[in-house]
Amino acid sequence: MTNAHAAKLVRVTTRAPGGAVPSETPLAAGGGNRFDVVVEGVAGRLLSTTGQPYSLEVVAFDVTSGGNPHSERNNFTQRRLEQFDGVDGWPSKLAVFTVTLNDLAAVQGHLLRYYAVLLSANQIASFVESPLFLLHAEQHRTGTPGDALAGAVERAPLQARWGQP
């Protein structure tokens, strides 16, 4: 960071709980009904030791339904109040928010995006947007009539599908 008194967020991604690699399908890796939202930020050399308070918030947007999917049962929105110091991970910040979905059926198969927002005094404001990700867990199939047909097509021999001998 070139400005010793500044801070900015550089990336927000999703991953399987405790994973090391960002994922576009964070539930599919076997995390059950949980996934991590990882926020990365940087701060200048002087600001990162001041102890100045800030808030760091993650907010989801459900592209499929057109709104914030946060509810009493699904904690998509989370906020932390911390300080710019070594204890809270500065000057290179890595914050992990674990999201637990107690009503997975409400968002199963939905495309989402996360926003991370950093706010503090002295005109410090920064935000980043995650890539799209899909909430898909194999054990929570919707059971639509098309599922049975899709399974039958997958099992049919290739020749039979294309009419070849």
Position with higher pLDDT, 101 vs 164: 101
Is residue 2 assigned to a domain?
Answer: no
Is residue 82 assigned to a domain?
Answer: yes
Q: What is the pLDDT of residue 32?
A: 77
Residues in the chain: 165
Is residue 24 assigned to a domain?
Answer: yes
29 confidence band (pLDDT: 50, 70, 90)? low
CATH number at 36 reads 2.60.40.1930
158 confidence band (pLDDT: 50, 70, 90)? very low
Is residue 1 assigned to a domain?
Answer: no
118 burial level (CB within 10 Å; 0-12, 13-18, 19+): buried
Q: Give pLDDT tens digits for 101-156.
A: 999 999 999 999 999 999 999 899 999 999 999 998 876 444 544 443 344 334 34
pTM for this entry: 0.81
Q: pLDDT at residue 11 above 90?
A: yes
Is residue 81 assigned to a domain?
Answer: yes
Which whole-number Å values give the CA distances from 130 to 4, 31, 60, 111, in the listed order? 26, 20, 9, 12
Residue 37 one-letter amino acid: V
Least confident of 22-31, 42-51, 102-111: 22-31
Q: What is the pLDDT of residue 137?
A: 83
- 68: containing domain: 7-162
Number of domains the chain is built from:
1
Mean pLDDT of the chain: 85
Is residue 43 assigned to a domain?
Answer: yes
Is residue 29 assigned to a domain?
Answer: yes
Residue 23 one-letter amino acid: S
